[in-house]
Amino acid sequence: MKRLLIPLLIAIIFIIGCENTMNTPTNKVESFLGKYQKMDTTVLEELNNVIQEDNSMTKEQKEEYQKLLEKQYQNLSYKIKTEEVEKEKATVEAEIEVLDYKTSIDKSKKYYEEHIDEFKNDKEEETDKKTYMEYKLEELKKVNTKTKYEITFNLTKKDGVWVMDNLTETDRKKIHGLY
Protein backbone atom coordinates (compact mmCIF):
# COMPACT_ATOMS: atom_id res chain seq x y z
CA MET A 1 0.00 0.00 0.00
CA LYS A 2 2.83 2.39 0.87
CA ARG A 3 4.43 1.65 -2.51
CA LEU A 4 1.36 3.05 -4.27
CA LEU A 5 0.85 5.99 -1.92
CA ILE A 6 4.29 7.57 -2.37
CA PRO A 7 4.25 7.61 -6.22
CA LEU A 8 0.66 8.89 -6.11
CA LEU A 9 1.63 11.77 -3.81
CA ILE A 10 4.61 12.63 -6.00
CA ALA A 11 2.37 12.65 -9.09
CA ILE A 12 -0.18 14.93 -7.38
CA ILE A 13 2.53 17.36 -6.26
CA PHE A 14 4.02 17.34 -9.77
CA ILE A 15 0.64 18.04 -11.42
CA ILE A 16 -0.17 20.85 -9.00
CA GLY A 17 3.30 22.36 -9.46
CA CYS A 18 3.04 22.21 -13.26
CA GLU A 19 -0.41 23.75 -13.19
CA ASN A 20 0.85 26.69 -11.15
CA THR A 21 3.87 27.26 -13.41
CA MET A 22 1.55 27.32 -16.43
CA ASN A 23 -0.61 30.00 -14.81
CA THR A 24 1.53 33.00 -15.72
CA PRO A 25 0.65 35.98 -17.89
CA THR A 26 3.38 35.05 -20.39
CA ASN A 27 2.12 31.48 -20.70
CA LYS A 28 -1.42 32.74 -21.30
CA VAL A 29 -0.21 35.00 -24.13
CA GLU A 30 1.91 32.19 -25.61
CA SER A 31 -1.10 29.87 -25.47
CA PHE A 32 -3.27 32.50 -27.15
CA LEU A 33 -0.81 33.11 -30.00
CA GLY A 34 -0.19 29.37 -30.29
CA LYS A 35 -3.88 28.86 -31.05
CA TYR A 36 -3.43 31.03 -34.14
CA GLN A 37 -0.28 29.20 -35.22
CA LYS A 38 -1.89 25.78 -34.75
CA MET A 39 -5.15 27.02 -36.29
CA ASP A 40 -7.22 26.02 -33.29
CA THR A 41 -10.86 25.21 -34.14
CA THR A 42 -12.10 28.11 -32.00
CA VAL A 43 -9.91 30.58 -33.89
CA LEU A 44 -11.02 29.19 -37.25
CA GLU A 45 -14.70 29.28 -36.25
CA GLU A 46 -14.39 32.93 -35.20
CA LEU A 47 -12.61 33.76 -38.46
CA ASN A 48 -15.27 31.97 -40.48
CA ASN A 49 -18.07 33.82 -38.66
CA VAL A 50 -16.49 37.21 -39.32
CA ILE A 51 -15.88 36.43 -42.99
CA GLN A 52 -19.42 35.11 -43.50
CA GLU A 53 -20.85 38.39 -42.16
CA ASP A 54 -18.98 40.34 -44.86
CA ASN A 55 -21.30 41.21 -47.74
CA SER A 56 -18.63 42.65 -50.03
CA MET A 57 -17.36 39.26 -51.24
CA THR A 58 -18.79 36.33 -53.15
CA LYS A 59 -18.78 32.87 -51.60
CA GLU A 60 -15.66 31.93 -53.58
CA GLN A 61 -13.90 35.14 -52.57
CA LYS A 62 -14.71 34.47 -48.92
CA GLU A 63 -13.14 31.03 -49.23
CA GLU A 64 -9.99 32.55 -50.79
CA TYR A 65 -9.80 35.22 -48.11
CA GLN A 66 -10.16 32.61 -45.38
CA LYS A 67 -7.27 30.64 -46.91
CA LEU A 68 -5.15 33.79 -46.95
CA LEU A 69 -5.79 34.47 -43.27
CA GLU A 70 -5.09 30.84 -42.40
CA LYS A 71 -1.76 31.24 -44.21
CA GLN A 72 -1.23 34.36 -42.08
CA TYR A 73 -1.84 32.39 -38.89
CA GLN A 74 0.57 29.63 -39.91
CA ASN A 75 3.28 32.21 -40.66
CA LEU A 76 2.80 34.17 -37.44
CA SER A 77 5.82 34.21 -35.17
CA TYR A 78 6.34 36.06 -31.93
CA LYS A 79 8.82 36.95 -29.24
CA ILE A 80 7.84 37.86 -25.68
CA LYS A 81 9.67 41.05 -24.71
CA THR A 82 8.55 41.78 -21.14
CA GLU A 83 6.08 40.75 -18.47
CA GLU A 84 5.01 43.12 -15.73
CA VAL A 85 2.77 42.05 -12.87
CA GLU A 86 1.20 44.35 -10.32
CA LYS A 87 -1.19 42.57 -7.95
CA GLU A 88 -4.14 41.34 -10.03
CA LYS A 89 -3.12 43.07 -13.29
CA ALA A 90 -0.38 42.23 -15.75
CA THR A 91 0.92 43.32 -19.13
CA VAL A 92 2.92 41.25 -21.55
CA GLU A 93 4.77 43.00 -24.37
CA ALA A 94 5.21 40.88 -27.46
CA GLU A 95 6.69 41.46 -30.87
CA ILE A 96 4.85 39.59 -33.59
CA GLU A 97 5.93 39.03 -37.16
CA VAL A 98 3.25 38.48 -39.80
CA LEU A 99 2.79 38.64 -43.56
CA ASP A 100 2.49 42.27 -44.65
CA TYR A 101 -1.03 42.22 -46.11
CA LYS A 102 -1.57 45.92 -45.34
CA THR A 103 0.99 47.13 -47.88
CA SER A 104 -0.52 44.89 -50.57
CA ILE A 105 -4.03 46.18 -49.84
CA ASP A 106 -2.81 49.78 -49.95
CA LYS A 107 -1.09 49.19 -53.31
CA SER A 108 -4.20 47.45 -54.67
CA LYS A 109 -6.37 50.37 -53.63
CA LYS A 110 -4.00 52.88 -55.21
CA TYR A 111 -3.90 50.87 -58.43
CA TYR A 112 -7.69 50.67 -58.42
CA GLU A 113 -8.02 54.42 -57.98
CA GLU A 114 -5.48 55.15 -60.73
CA HIS A 115 -6.89 52.57 -63.17
CA ILE A 116 -10.57 52.63 -62.32
CA ASP A 117 -11.56 52.12 -65.96
CA GLU A 118 -10.11 48.61 -65.83
CA PHE A 119 -12.65 47.78 -63.15
CA LYS A 120 -15.71 49.16 -64.92
CA ASN A 121 -18.58 46.83 -65.57
CA ASP A 122 -19.31 46.42 -69.31
CA LYS A 123 -23.05 46.78 -68.77
CA GLU A 124 -22.92 49.79 -66.51
CA GLU A 125 -20.75 52.79 -65.91
CA GLU A 126 -20.14 51.96 -62.27
CA THR A 127 -17.14 49.98 -61.12
CA ASP A 128 -17.39 46.26 -60.60
CA LYS A 129 -16.62 45.54 -56.93
CA LYS A 130 -16.31 41.82 -57.64
CA THR A 131 -13.52 42.41 -60.18
CA TYR A 132 -11.69 44.69 -57.77
CA MET A 133 -11.99 42.13 -54.95
CA GLU A 134 -10.62 39.41 -57.23
CA TYR A 135 -7.68 41.65 -58.10
CA LYS A 136 -7.03 42.44 -54.44
CA LEU A 137 -7.14 38.75 -53.46
CA GLU A 138 -4.73 37.84 -56.27
CA GLU A 139 -2.32 40.50 -55.04
CA LEU A 140 -2.62 39.21 -51.45
CA LYS A 141 -1.70 35.72 -52.63
CA LYS A 142 1.65 37.09 -53.83
CA VAL A 143 2.63 38.51 -50.44
CA ASN A 144 5.73 36.94 -48.95
CA THR A 145 7.23 39.90 -47.09
CA LYS A 146 6.74 40.17 -43.38
CA THR A 147 6.32 43.03 -40.97
CA LYS A 148 6.72 43.33 -37.21
CA TYR A 149 4.32 44.84 -34.70
CA GLU A 150 4.42 45.40 -30.96
CA ILE A 151 1.36 44.31 -28.99
CA THR A 152 0.70 44.90 -25.31
CA PHE A 153 -1.50 42.14 -23.92
CA ASN A 154 -3.41 43.04 -20.75
CA LEU A 155 -4.36 40.34 -18.28
CA THR A 156 -6.39 40.20 -15.09
CA LYS A 157 -6.16 37.59 -12.36
CA LYS A 158 -9.61 36.13 -11.62
CA ASP A 159 -10.00 33.52 -8.90
CA GLY A 160 -6.26 32.88 -9.00
CA VAL A 161 -6.13 32.36 -12.78
CA TRP A 162 -4.67 34.82 -15.30
CA VAL A 163 -7.19 35.75 -17.98
CA MET A 164 -6.43 37.82 -21.07
CA ASP A 165 -8.46 40.98 -21.49
CA ASN A 166 -10.19 41.48 -24.85
CA LEU A 167 -7.93 42.55 -27.68
CA THR A 168 -8.36 45.96 -29.22
CA GLU A 169 -9.37 46.20 -32.88
CA THR A 170 -5.91 47.59 -33.61
CA ASP A 171 -4.26 44.50 -32.08
CA ARG A 172 -6.52 42.19 -34.12
CA LYS A 173 -5.48 44.05 -37.27
CA LYS A 174 -1.83 43.58 -36.31
CA ILE A 175 -2.31 39.81 -35.96
CA HIS A 176 -3.93 39.76 -39.40
CA GLY A 177 -1.18 41.91 -40.93
CA LEU A 178 -3.73 44.60 -41.76
CA TYR A 179 -2.59 47.45 -39.51
Percent of the chain with pLDDT over 70: 85
Residue 12: inside a domain, yes or no? no
Q: Which domain range does residue 78 map to?
A: 25-175
Can you tell me whether residue 49 is helix, strand or coil?
Answer: helix
Residue 92: inside a domain, yes or no? yes
What is the full DSSP assignment across 6-19? Answer: HHHHHHHHHHHHHH
Mean pLDDT along residues 40-44? 95
Q: For residue range 66-107, what is the model confidence (pLDDT) as tens digits?
A: 999 999 999 999 999 999 999 999 999 999 999 999 999 999
Task: Categorize the per-residue pLDDT at 9 as very low, low, confident or very high, splitting at 50, 70 and 90.
Answer: very low
> Pairing state of beta strands 161-164 and 89-99?
unpaired
Mean pLDDT along residues 156-178? 96
Strand 77-86: give its sheet, edge to edge: 77-86, 89-99, 146-158, 161-164
When divided into structural domains, the chain yields a total of: 1
Residue 1: inside a domain, yes or no? no
Can you tell me whether residue 83 is helix, strand or coil?
Answer: strand
Residue 153: inside a domain, yes or no? yes
Can you tell me whether residue 142 is helix, strand or coil?
Answer: coil
Residue 56: inside a domain, yes or no? yes
Instruction: State the Cα–Cα distance between residues 33 and 96, nearest whole angstrom.
Output: 9
92: number of Cβ within 10 Å: 25
Of the segments 69-73, 118-122, 125-129, which one has the largest average pLDDT value?
Answer: 69-73
Residue 8: inside a domain, yes or no? no
CATH number of the domain that 85 lies in?
Answer: 3.10.450
Residues paired with 148 in a beta bridge: 97
pTM here is: 0.81
Residue 149: inside a domain, yes or no? yes
Residue 14: inside a domain, yes or no? no
